Amino acid sequence: MVTGGAPLQDVLADLRASGRPSLSFEFFPPRDDAGEGVLWESLRRVEALEPTFVSVTYGAGGSTRDRTVRATRAVARETTMSPVAHLTCVSASRAELRRVVGEYADAGVSSVLALRGDPPGGPGTPWERHPQGLGTALELVELLRSLGGFTVGVAAFPHRHPESADAEQDARVLALKARAGASFAVTQLFYEARLWTELVDRAAGHGCDIPVLPGLMAITSLKQVPVFAKLSGAPVPPPLVARLEAAQRSGGDAEVRRVGVEATAELGAELLEAGAPGLHLYTLNRSSASLEVVRALGLRDEDRTAAAVRAVPAQAGASQAGASQTGATPAGTAHPVPAAP
């Protein structure tokens, strides 16, 4: 829904109080002119559904910081949608972070997703704090709140973060970020509804009651299975892999894509039934599969959703198979990629 300028934290609170699910989408900044065209085609189709917000990621190691600022500014100024800009601690001093925050504020962006970010060397390499920078997302939340006027979101991890001792530590960190001023959280990619429920229950045990939006993306190619598992740290359950492999045998790539969308819609329905306050869909800048999930769940007007789905070239989803980090996994420091507590 179009927020009409209301702070995102208020919009999310109103939706939660009324029992209506939020709907949001994640994009990453384009690398070139061709990518920019693809991004804006997808943004315009998503805009027709009046999402609660759209988020724009950083690339691996904070490598797309300037493009993220430009893309988020364009969403704020040239669409009716509420943008959420990602911000990470990677390779940035406190002064540089304040500068980026100032650029967001000047562009009319009032919501930021605060992430520590992946190590500059990529997932699995040691984290290196900038000598004059911040070391955790908690510190970044505190910085943003000290600057005032921002709705702050954070990451949440249904699967244990690779640097956490256990799932309980992840829940404690989420609660600390909420106490520091975070208003909502978006999860890393996952495939089983119970993992979201367990995370929310653990966090509640530490006094955390902010909305935790499940982050989902349809697997539309078997090639994506090992890629997503490696980058996100979220193993694809064997029954889902078997279902996709059976689809490949029976109907080829098109059937894999259909089954992947169907399975994601089933997961979304299970999550909403379990009390999830909404869904956050990772798009890889190709909105077709995400729009089909929205249509299957009936989250928006059927006529408008059907029109948006029809407007996307049928082959668009297939091109997601080879996508790499900047947003998939969707979150490069985009989200499904571990974006450290």
pLDDT score of 327: 35
Nearest to 54 by CA among 104, 134, 109: 109
**What is the SS3 string spanning 115-180?**
ECCCCCCCCCCCCCCCCCECCCHHHHHHHHHHHCCCEEEEEECCCCCCCCCCHHHHHHHHHHHHHH
Q: Which helix (H) or strand (E) holds 340?
A: none
pLDDT score of 312: 60
Contact 331, 339 (CB under 8 A): yes
pLDDT score of 315: 41
In the annotation, is 103 catalytic?
no
**Using CA atoms, how far apart are residues 170 and 338, in angstroms rounded to an integer?**
12
Residues with Cβ within 8 Å of 66's Cβ and at least 6 positions away in sequence, in order, are none
Tokens standing for residue 40 = 């804006």
User: Model's pTM, two decimal places?
Assistant: 0.89
Tokens standing for residue 282 = 């990772």
Candidates 26, 47, 139, 292; catalytic one = 26
pLDDT score of 63: 57
Residues with Cβ within 8 Å of 81's Cβ and at least 6 positions away in sequence, in order, are 2, 43, 46, 47, 51, 53, 54, 75
Instruction: Give the CA-trace dihedral at 30, 34, 36, 38, to 10 degrees.
Output: -100
Q: Is residue 235 helix, strand or coil? A: coil
**Using CA atoms, how far apart are residues 260 and 19, in angstroms rounded to an integer?**
27
Main-chain phi, psi angles of 187, to 5 degrees: -85, 155
pLDDT score of 320: 37
Main-chain phi, psi angles of 89, to 5 degrees: -85, -5
Q: Average pLDDT by consecutive 10-residue portion of the chain (341 residues)?
A: 70 96 94 88 94 85 71 93 94 93 92 90 80 95 94 95 90 98 96 97 97 97 92 88 98 97 98 98 92 95 83 46 33 38 46
DSSP 70-98: HHHHHHHHHSSSPEEEEEE-TT-BHHHHH
**Using CA atoms, how far apart are residues 32 and 94, in angstroms rounded to an integer?**
29
pLDDT score of 228: 87
**Using CA atoms, how far apart are residues 168 and 166, in angstroms rounded to an integer?**
5
Domains delineated in the chain:
8-327 (3.20.20.220)
**91-110 in b/e burial notation, b at 16+ Cβ within 10 A?**
bbeeeebeebbebbeebebb
pLDDT score of 338: 36
What is the C-alpha R_g of the chain?
Answer: 18
